[in-house]
Amino acid sequence: GGFGLINKDGLKKPSYYAYYLLSKLGNEIIEQGEDYIITRSGEDIQILAYNYAYFDDLFLLGDTSHINHRERYLIYENKGIREMEFKINGIVGDYKITNYKLNRESGSVFDTWIKMGMPENMSVEEIEYLKGKAKPEMAVEYVKLKGEYRYVFQVPVHGVEMLILEKRM
């Protein structure tokens, strides 16, 4: 727990992985909008989409009565999955596409710890288990693109998804 990117047991929090994904963005912004950014680095394209939830009105007014050790998400507005479709034109050739998903199911050490039963004074084995499980999901595919690439993100609340299209030589 506590503030920061890594907790006292050396476990990386979602904020750590959010910065990790941001570090993968290219140096040229192609487009940005509400809850997304598309960048380029040479012939490689990076698309990052997110679904941020703001604090709810009760919490903003100072009411913390609905917060407890297990239910930390009750202070946020109730939002559903955010669907965003992206189309990249003029993209031709062989590409490696890497997809990263960071959300409550993949990359949240807190949610993984809850699923474990909220162990206290964790053993080395429990800490290592969390280190292995609480990472963003990653998938890789190789495709031949012929001018256009389309992808639909379905980002859950508090989630981030990133696609990296790397041109292969």
DSSP state string for 46-100: EEEEEE--PBPHHHHTT--TT--SS-GGGGB----PEEEEEEEEEEEEEEEEEEE
Q: Name the pTM for this structure.
A: 0.85
Which domains are delineated in the chain? Answer: 14-167 (2.60.40.1500)
Mean pLDDT in consecutive groups of 10 residues from the start of the chain, 169 residues? 81 91 97 96 96 68 68 69 94 97 88 88 92 91 96 92 96
Q: Are 40 and 30 in contact (CB under 8 A)?
A: yes
